[in-house]
Structure 1
């Protein structure tokens, strides 16, 4: 199914997940240190997806994620021992596409891997939609799926591109978190509103001049988010 890199420092958990995911059709390489994970994730050709533990002995998982994101948009699932909002949001804001809370059953991890791989296959804009959407300095080409600011390409993950596409399809209209979860992530994520909030924050950090005072992706308190044309 896919080439997976598992970065997990516990030898028993590492071995168990490698075996379980291999039995589900994946090719799995494992390592125990964050630095090694960065090197393996960014080599060419690299894996299709990274499963990354939050707590590692050499580098914090968030730092590993940031280093990978500096050079690659490869899909990343963060594994955390706690489901606290702070841990999850910080993991997502560091660049992870998804997260699971340990202990996690292998079949659930496999399901999240497959869902993320499907989501990472970037969509083609439906016929009849405008090829280009602009808002201030932002330009989104729906055909090439290239986002740029003042003519300079902005590296977005597949999930961030899907989110921007979905918002820009409804300019001036409020999209609720539930609508965005359904249309960007899928029905399996309908109770994961923090996934939307963290992804919006990361997207703003890339496309807004001042993310603390967004002009393109506005928050409508109590309802959701709105894409504004300028």
Structure 2
């Protein structure tokens, strides 16, 4: 949707200019930050709809910036990094990122991912039906306000964490494979990329389970996928 605000955080001027060119051509409003401290400040004052965040930044690094943003906002965060190792990707997702692209990247692909994240975010925010609130013992998921309460306390979730939790909770006692989850939430084929789903599931368990290593709600069904378990 034209007019949405996107914050680009990267200390490389050339990269900022290229991304800005593509985004503004599509009608987005673009704001830029050169370092981590400025990024956190702009996020709170500008309230962007999405953040494109470099991992390697002067001052606060991308991981620290992401963690600071997650204390206040649930907007989509796409990491950019010259590091393409699985561990680096896991670190970004564990910190609260929703997506990860390695440098060098295709600007067209980045634009497509931006559109997909914003589209899914709008869809979740516009949910309006009689089943918009899911209630389970100690857990309430409000699909309209995009919020989660655990034992009466509101807990912040990233957009992808929320979407995964909502999808599983809307299909209780049903096994969903990693491929099913990835394709439904990220809107693309997983091509065997199970780590992304695994990291997000781990993050969710830490937020809703009393004992994440022995989960009650989201259980792993070996060789098949994940199941949101509730008593019938």
Query: Normalised by the size of structure 2, how large is the TM-score?
Result: 0.89
Deviates most, 23-32 or 79-88: 23-32
Other-structure match for 1:87: 88
Contact 1:133 1:142 in 2 (8 A): no
Other-structure match for 1:175: 176
In structure 2, the residue corresponding to 1:120 is in which secondary structure? helix
Other-structure match for 1:5: 7
User: Among residues 24, 27, 38, which one is paired with 1:25 in the alignment?
Assistant: 27
Deviates most, 158-167 or 56-65: 158-167
Matched residues, number: 227
Contact 2:51 2:77 in 1 (8 A): yes
Aligned pairs (5 A) from 1:177-196: 177-187=178-188, 189=190, 191-196=192-197
Q: Distance in 1 between matches of 2:145 and 2:11?
A: 39
Q: Distance in 1 between matches of 2:189 and 2:8?
A: 23
Q: Distance in 2 between matches of 1:131 and 1:20?
A: 38
Report deviation, 1:83.
Answer: 2.1
Report deviation, 1:190.
Answer: 5.4
Contact 1:170 1:227 in 2 (8 A): yes
Other-structure match for 1:72: 73
Q: Distance in 1 between matches of 2:5 and 2:165?
A: 27
Report deviation, 1:19.
Answer: 2.1
Aligned CA-pair RMSD: 2.1
Q: Are residues 102 and 148 of structure 1, via their aligned partners in 2, closer, same or farther at CA, if it must alter by over 3 Å?
A: same
Structure 2 residue 127 is the aligned partner of structure 1 residue 124: yes
* Structure 1 gaps, min length 5: none
Q: Distance in 1 between matches of 2:62 and 2:19?
A: 18
